[in-house]
Structure 1
Amino acid sequence: MKSAVLIVCVLISVSIISEACKCFVRHPQNDFCQADYVIKAEVLGEKNVTSFEKRYKVKVLENYKSGYTSPFKYSQVWIYTTTSSAACGVQLDIGKTYVITGPKRGTQLTANTCSWNVEVSALTSFQRNALRKGYYRKNCECKIRECPHNRCEQGDGCLAPYDNSFCFHQNAACKQSAYSTSCEWTPNTC
């Protein structure tokens, strides 16, 4: 009987582990450029919509993607996500301020753990400047190529070797060169 219970427990835990959300680590500029919206927002509240979906009421403090389209600065909007982190649901804390990125589903703003959603206090000074000064927004035509296992083949765009990718993620943007049409890491400190 004990072995049957043990087998059931192991099968359940394997099932839970295999259902976990899996995301590739991407440069914030890639997430910024691929997102339908990028905002800085204070979380005001949380409400379950269904047993599978919840929404966060947020006050938009900045719209980094476009100041001329919704969601507008100082408006209050809902951000929809799944209730389960295994299904890539985002957990935001009420009263804290985040940079939230994600896709739109119709007119609804959605967020998931595979997008760049980070508490503002955790941003590096470079990331704060890149958002505020538009380094990410102005350089979406530049491609960042993540290099798993450090196998980087030369080509267009900026290469991010995996062993040093966090340096690039935290301290650099892929920007068009002032002297040519090619893109390069700025600053080139990694």
Structure 2
Amino acid sequence: MQMERAQLNFLAMLAVLLLAIDQAFGLWTCRQYPHPQQNVCRADFVVRGEILKKESIPISDEYDFGSLEKYTVKVKRIYKGEEFMSESSKLVHLMALANCGPYLEEGKRYLLSAKFDEDSKQLRTDNCLWNVEWSEITQGQRQGLKHFYEKYCQTPGQNRHPKKCEIVEGVQNYFGGNAIVKPSRCFYQGGVCERLHSSCIRKPTGACGWTTNTNYRSCKELERQRR
């Protein structure tokens, strides 16, 4: 009996260790400044919501393996992932490893993102996903969430959709051949103006490109003046 219990404890320890390594590796490989539209594409669930409750749940009752944070969220608006919401409730639970973030506060409103974990059947989030106080979301990002991000999201690795766009990180190469110059792509170099004020959409010409508005043009002008 003691042998079986020891084996079960070892398996539990191994599972937790593998989960921690997987989470940590994901955080180490996070892109530093992804475009919000890329974050929405990668997430399974994106909402505006208020943190009603935060609970710390120990990973193990016998060993100090840290804890999971369980956030109870009152959803105000869904941008992606309606299938994860109950028709009879506006509440949803997000899980996160305590040492991997995000660090959300009760009573505050956030833009929240999560991925669905098939093994645990839970919505899980971390610092690699887009979790930020709603007051910090710019007007351009709010427009993107409402109208553009999900609509034009071409997820890498999926079959190309004629009306979707893929954001490619790097500099567009006009002289080294046409292999990477495609109408289905927007090129992104981590620019502040694109990240804060613009979305990648299909233009009337059929090619993908960045939206422009007053804030975006003002931002680009400031960039030029600083050079």
Structure-1-length-normalised TM-score? 0.77
Q: Are residue 26 (structure 1) and residue 25 (structure 2) matched? A: no
Tell me by how many angstroms 1:108 deviates. Answer: 1.2
Letter matched to residue 41 of structure 1: G
Among 59, 63, 78, the residue aligned to 2:74: 59
Distance (whole Å) between structure 2 residues aligned to residue 72 and residue 137 of structure 1 = 21
Distance 2:138 2:126 in 1: 21
Aligned to 1:48: 56
AA aligned opposite 1:129? Q
Matches within 5 A, 1:105-184: 105-106=117-118, 107-132=121-146, 134-140=147-153, 141-147=164-170, 151-153=171-173, 154-156=180-182, 157-162=185-190, 165-180=191-206, 182-184=207-209
Q: How far 1:152 moved relative to its partner? A: 3.9
Cα-to-partner distance string for 1:93-126 (whole Å, 9 max, x where unaligned): 1111111112111331111101111111000111
Query: For the structure 1 residues 127 and 72, does the alpha-carbon distance in structure 2 shift closer, same or farther, using more than 3 Å as the test?
Result: farther
Instruction: Pick one of 101, 107, 110 that aligns with 1:98.
Output: 110
Alpha carbons 2:44, 2:81 under 8 Å: kept: no
Please give the alpha-carbon distance, in whole angstroms, between the structure 1 residues aligned to 2:67 and 2:84: 26
Superposition deviation, residue 66 in structure 1: 4.6
CA contact (8 A) 1:43 1:59 kept: yes
Shift of the 27–72 alpha-carbon distance from structure 1 to 2, 3 Å rule, reads farther
- Structure showing greater radius of gyration is 2
Which ranges in structure 1 are unaligned for 5 or more consecutive residues?
A: 1-18
Tell me, yes or no, if the aligned pair for 1:158 and 1:183 is still in contact at 8 Å.
yes
In structure 2, what is the equivalent of residue 10 of structure 1? none
Checking the alignment, whether the CA contact within 8 Å between 2:167 and 2:188 is kept in structure 1 is yes
Task: Determine helix, strand or coil for the equivalent of 1:57.
Answer: strand
Q: In 2, are the aligned partners of 1:63 and 1:71 still within 8 Å (CA)?
A: no
Distance 2:124 2:150 in 1: 20
Other structure's SS at 1:127 match: helix
1:186 corresponds to: 211
3-state SS, counterpart of residue 137 of structure 1: coil
What secondary structure sits across from 1:187 in the alignment?
Answer: coil
Displacement of 1:48 in angstroms is 1.0
SS in 1 for 2:80: coil
- Alpha carbons 2:200, 2:208 under 8 Å: kept: yes
Query: TM-score by structure 2 length?
Result: 0.65
Structure 2: 5+ residue stretches without partners: 1-23, 59-65, 154-163, 174-179, 221-227
Q: Per-residue CA shift, 1:130-185, capped at 9, x if unaligned? A: 212x21111112111222xxx443523111224xx1110101000011222x2000
